[in-house]
Structure formats: C-alpha cells, structure tokens
Amino acid sequence: MSKVIEVVEELVSPIVQDMGLELVDIEYVKEGKSWFLRIYIDKEGGIDIEECGIVSERLGERLDEVDPIPHNYFLEVSSPGAERPLKKEQDFERAVGETVFVKTYEAVDGEKTFQGKLLAFNKETLTLELKVKTRKVEKEIPFDKVAQARLAIEF
C-alpha cells in the first residue's frame, strides 16, 4: 500500500503545486469489497468543488498512464474538512492557537487521548492547554509519541 501512496504522491504533487494548492493527505484503503484512493487538498481560505474536479481529472489521466494500481478503485478528491488531520510539522505549526485532538502511541501521565488548545509546537514537543474540570492545565506531549492528531471542533 505504501508504494501506491508514494507513486500517487509523485503524480499528484506537481498538479496541486501548479494550482497553488496544498496536498494534505493521501489514503489508499479497502472498505468492504471496494478500494478507495482519497486525495485531500486545501488552500488558504478553503477549496471549492471545481478545484477538486480539476485535480481529479488531471490525476485520473496520470493514473491511467502510469497504472500503479492493478485493480478497480474509486478516486476521491476533497477537502480535509473541519477536522483536518495534522501530519507534517508545518500542520502543527499552523494549528498553534487552535483546538486539537491528539492520540498517542503510549500513555503520557496515564492518558493516551488529549483534546485542548495547542499553545506551542517545536519539533520535539506539543504543548496543550487542557480543561480539567473547572481549571486549565498545560500538558507537554513528546512529538515522537503522537500516533494521530487532527483539528477538533468545540461545541
């Protein structure tokens, strides 16, 4: 699977760069009996359906030429949505000041999931402001222990 993602990233990167967009993520997954190749793109201010359509069309042509996937699959190009995943260092840097959800590989002070305001990020540590009952506390999470992270919507 990772080989497919590598090839697709090589094919889609120049397309999104030419359009002034950002490649947020690529997923290649099997759901039920069907395979899905999902491309998530974004830009400052958000993207629209037309931009998704153009990327889909151009990438579809390149995928037909290179043919890196030996079976049928569905190609989906979309925005990452309001709860955008945070994967690259620059994603975390941009998210400072935002509410985030973080899941770790191993427990940090007895917990593996955290949701709070991202106060700071450096290449080694995330600093979150968490609400614990009626007070706010700061929690440092080692970056190398982060399994998953995304923006979170607070209600």
Low-confidence ranges of the chain (pLDDT < 50): none
pLDDT at 133: 85
Report the SS3 class of residue 128.
strand
pLDDT at 46: 87
Q: Assign domain 2-78 to its CATH architecture.
A: 2-Layer Sandwich (3.30)
CATH number of 89-151: 2.30.30.180
pLDDT at 155: 72
Does the model's pTM come out above 0.75? yes
Mean pLDDT over each residue of the chain, to the nearest integer: 93
**What pLDDT digit, counting tens, does each position of 130-148 carry?**
998 889 999 999 999 999 9
Domain ranges of the chain: 2-78, 89-151
Q: Which residues contact 17 (CB under 8 A, 6 or more apart)?
A: none
Give how far Cα 49 sits from Cα of 17, 56, 71, 104, Å.
Answer: 17, 10, 27, 34
pLDDT at 2: 77
114, two tokens: 């955290």
81, two tokens: 């949505």
Alpha carbons 48 and 69: distance in angstroms, whole number: 27
pLDDT at 1: 55
SS3 content of the chain, % helix, strand, coil (to 5): 30, 45, 25
